Structure 1
Amino acid sequence: MDADLTTGERIRVLRESRGMSRPVLAQLCGRGVEWLKKIESGERELTSHPLLLQLAAALQVADLSVITGTNTPAAAATVPLGRLAHPGMPDIWSAVMTRSLTTAPAGPVDPAALQGRVDQTWRLWHTSARNRTEVGALLPGLIRDGEHAVRTLDGEQRRRAQVALSDVYRLTGQATAYVAPAELAWVVADRALSAAQAADNPAAIAAASWNLGNILRETAYPEEALRVVEEAADLIRPHLDGAPEDWRGIYGALQLHAAVTAAREGREGDAWRYWGRGDQVAKSLPQNYLHPSTVFGRANVDFHAVSVATDLKKSQKAIGLADDIDPDIMPSVERRARLWVEVARGHLQRGDRTAALHVMQMAHRIGAETVSYTPSARTVAADLWRNSPRSMRAETSRLAEAVGIATAG
């Protein structure tokens, strides 16, 4: 990079070198195209350190001096990066990795009110098409308040705060999946489980184990993932008789987690056996039951059947199962978008790129950020862009650009 380039010129060079359009970069920073245009042209000066961090994360630049230049005051900074870039990641990183070891000068935190905020944020995660951005903006405050509550309360109030804090870290794990650096993902998963164990709450421990299982599976430790969720299921099973519905809900979610993990390893018999257990749990619950964070229920069990069949490369069965599902009965926008991604994968396995494109466009309309930040969805979009016939090139390029995949050249 030429040392004489301005910050705006450096941003433009980095953006263009990554094949990223101006609208895509502006959207990743939560800003308008005209704002970015003025920054790049030098018409507007960029002095906000948080915005610099957001730009660096979106451009996948780990050293802020690459953007600011070595002679600027804000040059010395390291930007945390995951596999994908999201502008909210620096603030979440700061809240998780710089937690205070002393009592902060703040007022008392009511654990019931804290749990209410966490529950509302889980609902936002499942209902917003921009769930990572909107939830990510709330997480730093929830993390700090949860940590403060655990440090300052005692007795039963402290145990309730620990359950809420475990929920906060589970939600953080969900909202930062694929965008968090590996070290943050592991810290978040461990803190969720540690807080649940400190609360001595079997349902919270099972939910945190479900979250840890996600991390293990996505980082290529499938056997460890299965061990964790099986142990959690064994822990909570003796408590299910007479327990609240949500305890059975998390038990069912553990079975579905194991089903997908086994399917990805090609273990067809085990995958359908675990799925069958989840199906039995759903049948024991009211027809309209929905677990607040995992969205376990009748619809999600049916959705997971499609995922299991797709992961087992049984595309015909996956598409047939999807044909019998009414996706609108699932209130989670995030889960509906993921269902259509699974269906698109099935069509792609059969070589039907026209159907795959149509279904991926539906998925993106339903949950844009779910598609943009899910590797399996990006893989489908990239495959369509690279390998579709010329007649589909314009539409596949638009989808790839909307998802954030470079289409320049």
Structure 2
Amino acid sequence: MKRRKLLANLTITAAAAAVVPITGTGHSSAAEARPGELLVTGLRDAMLGLGPLGAPLSPDHLPGELARAVAHFNASSYGSLAVRLPRLIRAGHQAGAEYHAVLARFYLLATRALIKLDEPQLGWMAADRARRLALAGGAPLDVAEAARQQAVLARQAGWHDQSLTLALAAADDPALREAGNIGIAQRGLLIQCAAYTVAHQRDQEGMRRLTKEAAAIADELGGITHLRDTAGGFNRATVQLHLISAEYKAGDPSAAIAADALHPMTLPTVERRALYWTDRATAYAQWGRRDQCIDALLEAERCAAEETHARPAVKAMLNGLLVSGRTTPELRGLAARAGVLPA
């Protein structure tokens, strides 16, 4: 009995480490493509300078358009983001050097989306452009955020030492301290990032030490959410969210659930709340709590359906659940909506 349970748990977690293709012909038309696919395709073509330019967009409108694009991302509205963000990247390149700082933020947003959609090659391209443009535009906070995203990509590539160096070097930049509370919040995000990398190295003590440092920064800032428009927000609740995923990455999924002391509505954006539920689902899957894993995935879908259906990590988890044990109408329905099973 224990052996069968162990094998089932390993099947779920092993599938979660693989890329699971959507069942079908693999030749969907643009009209049939899902929002995540459209977003990746649009960003790829815009970054390569391909595709239609669309209607002209006044450079003066770019900051306002950036705010709208960030709102789409924070709401996990991938369909709307797929329409808006590639167009803004094209317009930003046409706007001239004085808009480099705004274009850097377009690329920062693109990087975050590409990381979620498991597109590391495009993610590296976007993050590198964001950092170069932020440096050219004299925007130290955006330079630091680009470094954080590069650290995430390095960690995903298994380059843990390089990831730590990127995050901690950026956190020590004096420009962040000079930027006031928002710079302090960015430093907190970078330390969170370093803690998560240490978790990947199975160093639970080191992860918890860095997480406490990030939590102390959040306490210093009080209850205000900072960086909502650039990194999904930073406050005590987002540090607690980070701890859930860090605990299961460090090798203790039961500790991840035990560490969960927050209500998802205290998180600053829909995107962060969806991440909360998918992180819980992953911890439950690794812990062998199949029913709770499925319930958490359904909550993620109720929170942010487009994101839940689009993320390869969720598809992989669903695939693992389908092949590892009893299926239910709820599981099969979610798998169909996510494209893992034929609808």
Provide structure 1 residue ranges, at least 5 long, that are not aligned to the other structure: 1-16, 30-51, 59-83, 152-157
Aligned to 1:250: 186
1:93 aligned residue (38, 41, 44): 44
Residue among 75, 95, 106 paired with 1:127: 75
Unaligned 5+ segments in structure 2 are: 1-20
CA contact (8 A) 2:38 2:82 kept: no
1:394 aligns with 2:335: no
Shift of the alpha carbon at 1:369?
2.6
Q: CA deviation at 1:108?
A: 5.7
Alignment partner, residue 189 of structure 1: 127
Q: Is 1:149 the equivalent of 2:99?
A: no
Corresponding residue of 1:214: 152
- Tell me how many residue pairs correspond in the alignment: 319
Match of 1:293 among 219, 230, 237: 230
What residue is the counterpart of 2:278 in the other structure? 341
TM score, norm. by length of structure 1: 0.71
Residue pair 2:22, 2:339 contacting (<8 A) in 1 also: no
Q: How far apart are residue 132 of structure 1 and its match?
A: 2.1
Deviation at 1:97, TM superposition (A): 0.5
- Say if 2:134 and 2:143, in contact at 8 Å, map to a contact too: yes
Q: Closer, same or farther in 2 for the Cα pair 1:340/1:305, shift >3 Å? A: same
The structure-2 alpha-carbon separation of the partners of 1:176 and 1:132, relative to structure 1 and needing over 3 Å to count, comes to farther
Using the TM superposition, give the Cα deviation of residue 243 of structure 1 relative to its aligned residue in structure 2, in angstroms.
Answer: 2.4
Q: Distance in 1 between matches of 2:222 and 2:73?
A: 23
Determine the structure 1 residue equivalent to 2:220: 284
In structure 2, what residue type is equivalent to 1:115? P
Percent of pairs with identical residues: 24
Separation in structure 1 between the aligned mates of residue 93 and residue 22 of structure 2, nearest angstrom: 39
Q: Offset at 1:190?
A: 0.9
Deviations 1:344-402 (A, max 9, x none): 2222222221111111111111112322233332232222221232xx43322112112
Check whether the contact 1:196–1:204 (CA below 8 A) recurs between aligned residues.
Answer: yes
Aligned to 2:14: none
| Equivalent residue letter for 2:179 | A
Q: CA deviation at 1:251?
A: 1.1
Q: 2:39–2:81: 8 Å Cα contact kept in structure 1?
A: no
CA distance in 2, matches of 1:108, 1:362: 40
1:257 CA drift (Å): 1.1
TM-aligned CA deviation for residue 99 of structure 1: 7.1
1:310-389 to structure 2, matched below 5 A, reads 310-322=248-260, 324-389=261-326
Pairwise mapping of residues 190-205 of structure 1 onto structure 2 (< 5 A)? Answer: 190-205=128-143
| 1:137 pairs with 2:83 | yes
- Whether the aligned pair in 2 keeps the contact of 1:316 and 1:346 (CA below 8 Å) is yes
Task: Indicate the RMSD between aligned Cα atoms, in angstroms.
Answer: 2.9
* Alpha-carbon distance between aligned partners in 1 of 2:118 and 2:290, rounded to the nearest angstrom: 31
Q: Please give the TM-score of this superposition, normalised by the length of structure 2.
A: 0.83
- CA change 1:275–1:183 in 2 (3 A) is same
CA shift, 1:297, in A, is 1.4
Which whole-Å deviations, capped at 9, do the CAs of 1:241-266 have from their partners, x for residues lacking one?
A: 45232212211111111111211221
Could you report, residue by residue, the CA deviation over 1:298-353 in whole angstroms, capped at 9, with x for unpaired residues? 2101111111111122222211222x211111131111111111112222222221
Report the Cα offset of residue 229 of structure 1. 1.2
Q: 2:205 aligns with which of 253, 269, 289?
A: 269
Q: Residues 5-44 of structure 1: matches in 2 within 5 Å?
A: 19-20=23-24
Aligned residue number for residue 406 of structure 1:
341
Query: In the alignment, what sits opposite 2:7?
Result: none
CA contact (8 A) 2:141 2:176 kept: no
Tell me if structure 1 keeps the 8 A contact 2:199–2:250. yes
